[in-house]
Amino acid sequence: MANETNLREIVKEGIADVFYIWREELKNVFRDTGVVIFFFLVPFAYPLVYAFIYNNEVVHEAKMVVVDNSDSFLSREFTRRVNATPDVEVVRVCKNMDEAKRMLDEKKAYGILSFPSEFSKDINAGRQTTISLYSDMSSLLFYKAFLLSATEVSFSLSKEYVSELHPASSRQTELVKIDPVPYESVALFNSQMGFASFLVPAILILVIQQTLILGIGMLGGTARERNQRHTLVPISDIHFRGTLRIVLGKSLSYLVLYVVVCIWVIAIVPRLFSFPQIGNPGVIALFLLPFLAASIFFAMTLSGFMTSRESPMLVFVFTSVILLFISGVSWPKEAIPEFWRILGYLFPSTPGVQGFIRINTSGASLNEVSHEYRLLWIQAGFYFISACLIYRYQIIRSLKNND
Amino acid sequence: MSYGQQKYGVGAIAVREIKRLLSHRLYLFCLLLAPSISVVFFISLMRDGLPTNLPVALVDLDNTATSRTLVRQLDAFTQTQITQKMNSFTEARIAMQKGEVYGIYYIPEGFGTDAVSGKQPKLSFYTNGTYLIAASLLFRDMKTISVLAGASVGLQTGIAQGKSTDQIMGQLQPIVIDTHALGNPWLNYSVYLNNTILPGILQLLIFLVTVYCIGVEIKLGTAEEWLKMGHGCLFKSLLGKLLPYTVIFTIIGFMICAVLYGFNSFPLQSGWFPMLTAIFFLVIASQAVGIFMIGTLPTLRLGLSFASLFGMISFSIVGFSFPVLGMHSTLQALAELFPLRHYFLIYIDQALNGRDLYYSIGEYLWLLSFLILPFLIGKNLKKALLYMKYIP
């Protein structure tokens, strides 16, 4: 009987302590401008900044010059049609290549389209003719805009002129000659192949993890600076004498704050900028739960190694660039070397980004992201244990120091 | 805190700073480990230049010799690998949502017979725009193979009508576009990205270290002692303090150049001198911006936050992935405030295109003009160093 009451007392006291620590930690967060910056200002402002930067999605009116050695009706018609495409603007027709190259040197244009002198003659004689396209490689998107527009125009012009030159009995047989096997290409889920729709969802997930690491790391570093003997736990406070209650109490306070942050970052920002978001909100919420848990416990584990409040920024900020690439959103995961791919499994952002963009942008359900979902729960469990070990070690250390 | 016997002057401050950075793990992390990890990571990540064997799902409802030949040809492309064969588009779409494939190639029923009998069967291919790079590369391969399929059918029927290959090609594809990607004909992504990402990480670390090494004097209450060593002159004190970092970061910058242009033999049309100068200018410009940051926000945590956020935004606003010309005009103007932007423009002119130095002089001057920033904020910084109390 005595044992049973004892246990009940412990549980009751434990729960009370969890809420005590929860409240203390919330106070700590709001007292510290540094933490407030990372928990609120950055998640608020960063998505807006990135959305603004990439808002145009694709390049319009990339500047091009033309060198027209043919100077014929057909070459002028070609130029006119390229200019009419939304992606390319022909800024000048140059006399020769030297002049065109100078335009590129002066950044007045980023691409050159050059017609050979026999361009029109060849087409009229039914011979294949070759035009040259030169693109400045400061951005692949210029190259893409020039190439796609020129290809499109060459196709439409060919169709019209070849059929004019070889009048056939019926329209149907005409088309067969030029285009025996038509094809269609569809970009699914991000139909205009926009840059913001591709990159921003991944950045949003990364912002959540990185701000948690920086904020919680800062709280940890501050505690280490302030507490007696530089330990993570204020041992003078009687409520802080149990590993589980500290880890649960603190993580609960971060979770509550980040539910609010997530509503802004994941639900409101994509709507403001009308990014593709075809994922089921319930699925997204279910998926974010283990992601948040894993990120919080991961951050709490790392905070154990922070000896001063500034160190997280010096140590973790640069990793954001690496984590974005290791997540496999821009560089396909199949092409990531084995070593880095395995290392990537240590970070919640890797399955977090993969799963989120597929739910959010490609409309996957939990079934299709089960691999990532399971990984996140495993990470959450693993980092929960490691966070407990870190705090256990810190409690023992501070108790020992106290004696 | 005393560092040996009190001596004065720039040299003494530099010696004091070297002792400090050697005794603190945080500095060693930012100066040695972080740059090394980044270089090894990005160079090894993109070592092949282009991602190869991207998985594609095949839906071949025709399944004749004609369609199988087409499939074999598609699979032979280095970027494309057919990993799954499905019987319906829905199955393939689910594989795409699972992240198992980035593209779907669809061959309709009766393709082989329809093609030769002039019924114009339609080939379809789908890419997952969620993964932009993978989708673009697969688009290229799947489009090429579709065009080739048309050409081979056209050749067959043309030859049957007794026409010559030249005649047929003149009808099938009257206009061929010969593309020249200037400076990077392989469309190598490592050339495309690493030439800016690595200097970008260098810039970020310089911001952070510069802000930290000045701000920490306030935090530890050693700012007065430091200024005294510079005879109370902020310029001398800063010079002595930052000189060791200038040397270290310049060496790191040169090593990044050595990895890019030496070890990897990336395009370096201009020769070494313009790029080494550019990276040295990037180092001192970033240090100047760092001083400006801690001068405007002379609290260590705020200064560091400023450095982090500014440093991270550089990667996007510099325009090496999404071009600055495609951004809002406000952002086009703001981009000038980032040293990395000017370094990037120098790189494009010099290393990538080998343009005349004349075209880059403006950008070099831009980088040097960042050195004015510390003088604008000097008064504020000195006041903070002397009178501000560190509040945790």
When comparing pLDDT for A111 and B144, which is higher? A111
Q: pLDDT tens-digit profile of A245-288?
A: 888 888 999 999 999 999 998 888 888 888 888 888 899 999 99
**Rounded (to 5) percent helix, strand, coil in chain B:** 70, 10, 25
The candidate with the shortest Cα–Cα distance to A204, out of A152, A154, A273, is A273
Say if B389 is an interface residue toward chain A (CB within 8 Å).
Answer: no
Residue A167 has pLDDT above 60, yes or no: no
Cα separation of the two ends of chain A: 34
Q: pLDDT tens-digit profile of A83-127?
A: 999 889 999 998 899 999 999 999 899 999 999 999 888 888 888
Mean pLDDT of B169-184: 83
Give the lowest-confidence range in A201-205, A293-297, A393-397, B262-266. Answer: A393-397
Chain A residues near residue B197 by CB distance under 8 angstroms: 321
Instruction: Kindly determine whether residue A335 and residue B51, on different chains, have CB atoms separated by under 8 Å.
Output: yes
Closest chain A residue by Cα to residue B209? A314
Which backbone phi and psi does B388 adopt, to 5 degrees?
A: -80, 140
Rg of chain B over Cα atoms, rounded to whole angstroms, equals: 29
DSSP B123: E
Residue B100 CB burial class (10 angstroms; 0-12, 13-18, ≥19): middle
| Residue B232 burial (CB count, 10 A) | 12
- Give residue B294's pLDDT band: very low, low, confident or very high (50, 70, 90): very high
Chain A residues near residue B56 by CB distance under 8 angstroms: none
A7 min Cα distance to partner chain B (Å) = 40
Instruction: Kindly determine whether residue A123 and residue B147, on different chains, have CB atoms separated by under 8 Å.
Output: no
Residue A168 has pLDDT above 60, yes or no: no
Residue A171 has pLDDT above 60, yes or no: no
**Distance, CA of A2 to CA of B45 (rounded, Å):** 62
Q: pLDDT tens-digit profile of B380-390?
A: 898 888 887 76
When comparing pLDDT for B83 and B389, which is higher? B83
DSSP A264: I
When comparing pLDDT for B10 and B203, which is higher? B203
Mean pLDDT of B90-111: 88
A355's CB contacts (< 8 A; 6+ apart) are: A287, A291, A364, A369, A372, A373, A376
Chain B residues near residue A197 by CB distance under 8 angstroms: 129
Residue B1 has a pLDDT of: 43
**Distance, CA of A71 to CA of A77 (rounded, Å):** 10
Residue B323 has pLDDT above 80, yes or no: yes
Residue B134 has pLDDT above 80, yes or no: yes
Chain B residues near residue A192 by CB distance under 8 angstroms: 129
Structure token digits, residue A173 = 């047989």
Closest chain A residue by Cα to residue B210? A314
For testing contact with chain A, the best of B45, B106, B152, B175 (most A CBs within 10 A): B175
Domains and CATH numbers, chain A: 2-54+194-402 (no CATH), 62-178 (3.40.1710.10)
What is the percent of chain B with per-residue pLDDT over 70, rounded to a whole number? 97
Say what the pTM is: 0.90
The candidate with the shortest Cα–Cα distance to B152, out of A156, A162, A181, A185, is A181
Out of B154, B311, B320, name the one closest to residue A180 (CB).
B154
Residue B392 has pLDDT above 60, yes or no: no
Sheet holding A183-188, edge to edge: A183-188, B123-128, B103-107, B54-60, B80-86
Look at the domain B54-172 and name its fold.
abc type-2 transporter like fold (3.40.1710)
Using DSSP bridges, classify how beta strands B103-107 and B123-128 pair: parallel, antiparallel or unpaired.
antiparallel
Chain B residues near residue A131 by CB distance under 8 angstroms: 175-178
Chain B residues near residue A130 by CB distance under 8 angstroms: 175-178
**Distance, CA of A46 to CA of A39 (rounded, Å):** 12
- Mean pLDDT, chain B, rounded, equals 88
When comparing pLDDT for B41 and A361, which is higher? B41
What is the percent of chain A with per-residue pLDDT over 90, rounded to a whole number? 40
User: Where exactly are the structural domains of chain B?
Assistant: 10-46+188-387, 54-172
For testing contact with chain B, the best of A42, A46, A65, A140 (most B CBs within 10 A): A140
Residue A134 has a pLDDT of: 94
When comparing pLDDT for B140 and A401, which is higher? B140
Instruction: Kindly determine whether residue A154 and residue B181, on different chains, have CB atoms separated by under 8 Å.
Output: no
**Distance, CA of A226 to CA of B248 (rounded, Å):** 33
**Distance, CA of A258 to CA of A263 (rounded, Å):** 8
Residue B369 has a pLDDT of: 96
Residue B138 has a pLDDT of: 87
When comparing pLDDT for B340 and B117, which is higher? B340
B253 min Cα distance to partner chain A (Å) = 16
Max mean pLDDT among A178-192, A297-311, B358-372 falls in: B358-372
Mean pLDDT of B43-68: 87
- Mean pLDDT, chain A, rounded, equals 86
Chain B residues near residue A343 by CB distance under 8 angstroms: none
**Distance, CA of B287 to CA of B283 (rounded, Å):** 6
Residue B276 has pLDDT above 70, yes or no: yes
Q: pLDDT tens-digit profile of A204-229?
A: 999 999 999 999 999 888 888 877 56
- Give residue B3's pLDDT band: very low, low, confident or very high (50, 70, 90): very low
The candidate with the shortest Cα–Cα distance to A332, out of B137, B34, B238, is B137
Instruction: Kindly determine whether residue A322 and residue B38, on different chains, have CB atoms separated by under 8 Å.
Output: yes
Q: What is residue A56's three-state secondary structure?
A: coil
Return the exposure string of A50-65: e unless at least 16 CB atoms fall within 10 Å of the residue's CB, then b.
bbbbbbbbbbebbbbb
Return the exposure string of A240-254: e unless at least 16 CB atoms fall within 10 Å of the residue's CB, then b.
bebbebbbbbbbbbb
Rg of chain A over Cα atoms, rounded to whole angstroms, equals: 30
Residue pair A245/A18 in contact (Cβ under 8 Å)? The answer is yes
Q: Say what the ipTM of the complex is.
A: 0.88
Chain B residues near residue A185 by CB distance under 8 angstroms: 124-127, 139, 142-143
**Distance, CA of B302 to CA of A351 (rounded, Å):** 32
Out of A181, A314, A315, name the one closest to residue B153 (CB).
A181
Residue A398 has pLDDT above 80, yes or no: no
Instruction: Kindly determine whether residue B51 and residue A33, on different chains, have CB atoms separated by under 8 Å.
Output: no
The candidate with the shortest Cα–Cα distance to B384, out of B318, B293, B297, B267, is B297
Mean pLDDT of A222-239: 71
DSSP symbols for B48-110: TSS---EEEEEEESS-SHHHHHHHHHHHHSSSEEEEEEESSHHHHHHHHHTTS-SEEEEE-TT
Structure token digits, residue B53 = 């064997």
Out of B184, B308, B320, name the one closest to residue A317 (CB).
B308
Say if B4 is an interface residue toward chain A (CB within 8 Å).
Answer: no
